[in-house]
Structure 1
Amino acid sequence: MNQNNLIDVIIPVAGKGERFYPITKYTQKCLLPVGDKPILGHILSRIQSLNIKSVKLITGHFENKVKEYVENYKNLNIACIYQSEQLGLAHAIKLGLQNIENPVLIILGDSIFDIDYVDFCNKTKSNIGVLEVEDPERYGIIELDQDKIIKFIEKPKNPKSNLAQIGIYYIHSQKKLLNAINKIITSNIQTKNEYQLPDAFQIMIKDKNMFEYTKINEYLDCGIKKNLLASNKKIFSSMKSSNFISLTAQVINSNLKYCHISPGCIIENSSLKNVIVLNDTLIKNKILENEIIGS
């Protein structure tokens, strides 16, 4: 992609976030705070170095709250596209694609990447972000032949590589990806009863499309509670302030470290370390560590 070319960005944020239940019965997972802002806020802030044509959020669960939040990003051309039926990631991405040759950047809505986005997208081929992992059988991985991606495999029993796909993809042609997704849907090619992106990428490879990859040294995974809390601590550790306290929250006679205190909260006579406190929550006479509290 030429640096001057416009790029579309698709971020799927439709899921119910069942791994965070009961908290996500009351909010969308991408709006959970991590550090000083919601997960989605970190993603939108980091992509602004790109020459963006549009940002398409594939919404579902608590779409109204997502729409309300992105009003804070009026400088980006953001559209919410509702996914009425969740049939897998490829199905979600299809809703945001156009039948044009322009490129698209896809970022999963529970992952934060501190990378050079311009460099990641400045490619003539599609580019897959990967991480070297110790347990590749737990991931979707790529297989290589002399540094060229030849296969995408979901959770292989006998992995031939340790390069895991981690949720960021630059695709050089929306049209070619759209055609591949349509093929897997028409042919009912599913993985675990859902239409998945790696299956579409495999169709693209069969159609002679080339893929390269970029190794990402680390990223902030917010897909499960343990990882989100680790990401929260890491973000605060890199900031001047080790807490975020809303202007409408009250903290009385309490010690806080690596804490996000949301609007309307009252924290009194308590000690909190690496705790995310959601809106309008009262915490009194408590010692808490590594928790997400509230609803």
Structure 2
Amino acid sequence: MGKAKIQKAIIPAAGLGTRMLPITKSMPKEMLPVGTKPVIHYVVEEAIKAGIDDILIITGKGKRAIEDYFDRNFELEYYLRERGKERELKLVREISEMVDIYYVRQKKPLGLGDAILHAEKHVNGEPFAVLLGDDIIMSERPGIGQLVEVYDRFKAPVLGVETVEWADVEKYGIVDVENIENGLYLVRDLVEKPKKEEAPSNVAIVGRYVLTPEVFDALREVKPDKRGEIQLTDALRILVKGGASMYARIIEGRRYDVGTPEGWLKANMELGRVFGLVG
């Protein structure tokens, strides 16, 4: 019998957003506006378009605005209804009815790997998707859906990747890969933020994963890095070195790293044109 279809997604959104200070001192980076919607709205929409109907968001201190955004706001709905603002009323109701969303809090900022560990009970032994809450991917086919297709084919973990400039490899988890076919690779090794001269390739992980429950045991083996954080890349490396099959898929589409000022401004300019908000 094959493994279960991907029905659950984890969105880690507990980071402090230090690259976007000072605005993230009082606003979660995932709630920064891109056009007329916050960043995390695009991420949730991507998961829904891929057929995922159960989402767990990992939050932290100061992230209550995320929960409020996806919740009902009866006072606002009453205000809009009384004033005949039916279009706006429909919009806010649709947000609260998008999908089943659950929350768990990461009490200390101990890295992406630690955030994923908080999802173990919710995942309940099933394969699951991970979408980072500060990456927007615009494509005809949802980015995470492209990875789910590969998972359905091989029933093994799949990493979303793209090729980056060699000067930028120090910013990413980098994979050593063997080409299978156009845009699809077998993962041979992984390294977190290597120096340019030590990087095995310029194929970088870009915030989308389909993982299997075996990753949780691997995460428990990972030793904290020099910042005291548990890195997901290190756990994935444990799996590969232990003989597990793992694949990487170049995601077709346009990615915006809205966790940086440059990426956020670029997303607003380019998506603003798409939605007719800027000239």
Same fold (TM over 0.5): yes
- What RMSD over aligned residues (CA atoms) do the two structures have, in Å? 2.2
Q: Classify the secondary structure of the residue corresponding to 1:67.
A: helix
Quick one: distance in 2 between partners of 1:118 and 1:214? Answer: 11
Quick one: distance in 1 between partners of 2:127 and 2:104? Answer: 19
Look up the match of 1:139. 172
Quick one: distance in 2 between partners of 1:169 and 1:85? Answer: 23
Q: Classify the secondary structure of the residue corresponding to 1:156.
A: coil
Q: With the length of structure 2 as denominator, give the TM-score of the two structures.
A: 0.78
Q: Classify the secondary structure of the residue corresponding to 1:201.
A: helix
2:262 maps to amino acid = K
When residues 103 and 191 of structure 1 are mapped into structure 2, their CA distance, relative to the original with a 3 A threshold, is farther
Look up the match of 1:219. 255
Deviation of 1:139 after TM superposition, in Å, equals 2.2
Look up the match of 2:187. 149
When residues 127 and 18 of structure 1 are mapped into structure 2, their CA distance, relative to the original with a 3 A threshold, is same
Q: Classify the secondary structure of the residue corresponding to 2:108.
A: coil
Look up the match of 1:112. 136
Deviates most, 35-44 or 100-109: 100-109
| Contact 1:28 1:61 (8 Å CA) reproduced | no
| Contact 2:117 2:216 (8 Å CA) reproduced | yes
List aligned pairs for 1:191-210, cutoff 5 A.
Answer: 192-210=227-245
Aligned residues with identical type, % of pairs: 27
Look up the match of 2:266. 230
Quick one: distance in 2 between partners of 1:192 and 1:129? Answer: 25
Quick one: distance in 1 between partners of 2:4 and 2:246? Answer: 22
Task: Count matched residues.
Answer: 238
Quick one: distance in 2 between partners of 1:138 and 1:58? Answer: 23
| Contact 2:112 2:231 (8 Å CA) reproduced | yes
Look up the match of 2:88. none
When residues 152 and 229 of structure 1 are mapped into structure 2, their CA distance, relative to the original with a 3 A threshold, is same
Q: Classify the secondary structure of the residue corresponding to 1:61.
A: coil
Q: Classify the secondary structure of the residue corresponding to 2:229.
A: coil
Look up the match of 1:130. 161
**Runs of 4+ more than 3 Å apart:** 98-101
Structure with greater proportional strand content: 1
Structure with greater proportional helix content: 2
Look up the match of 1:253. none
Q: Does 1:182 align with 2:220?
A: yes
1:52-89 superposed Cα distances (whole Å, 9 cap, x missing partner): 24211110132321110112333311111011111111
| Contact 2:39 2:134 (8 Å CA) reproduced | yes
Quick one: distance in 1 between partners of 2:6 and 2:234? Answer: 27
Quick one: distance in 2 between partners of 1:162 and 1:102? Answer: 31
2:145 maps to amino acid = V
2:173 maps to amino acid = G
Deviates most, 134-143 or 192-201: 134-143
When residues 166 and 97 of structure 1 are mapped into structure 2, their CA distance, relative to the original with a 3 A threshold, is same
Quick one: distance in 2 between partners of 1:191 and 1:170? Answer: 27
Deviation of 1:29 after TM superposition, in Å, equals 0.8
Higher relative contact order (CA 8 A, sep 6+): 2
Q: Which has more radius of gyration?
A: 1
When residues 131 and 58 of structure 1 are mapped into structure 2, their CA distance, relative to the original with a 3 A threshold, is same
| Contact 1:15 1:61 (8 Å CA) reproduced | no
Q: Does 1:92 align with 2:125?
A: no
Look up the match of 2:44. 44
Quick one: distance in 2 between partners of 1:4 and 1:205? Answer: 21
| Contact 1:12 1:109 (8 Å CA) reproduced | yes
Runs of 5+ consecutive residues of structure 2 not aligned to the other structure: 72-94, 180-184
Deviation of 1:140 after TM superposition, in Å, equals 1.6
| Contact 2:161 2:206 (8 Å CA) reproduced | yes
Q: Does 1:63 align with 2:63?
A: yes
1:106-159 superposed Cα distances (whole Å, 9 cap, x missing partner): 111100112433332121221111111112233221012454211111222222
| Contact 1:63 1:82 (8 Å CA) reproduced | no
Q: Classify the secondary structure of the residue corresponding to 1:52.
A: coil
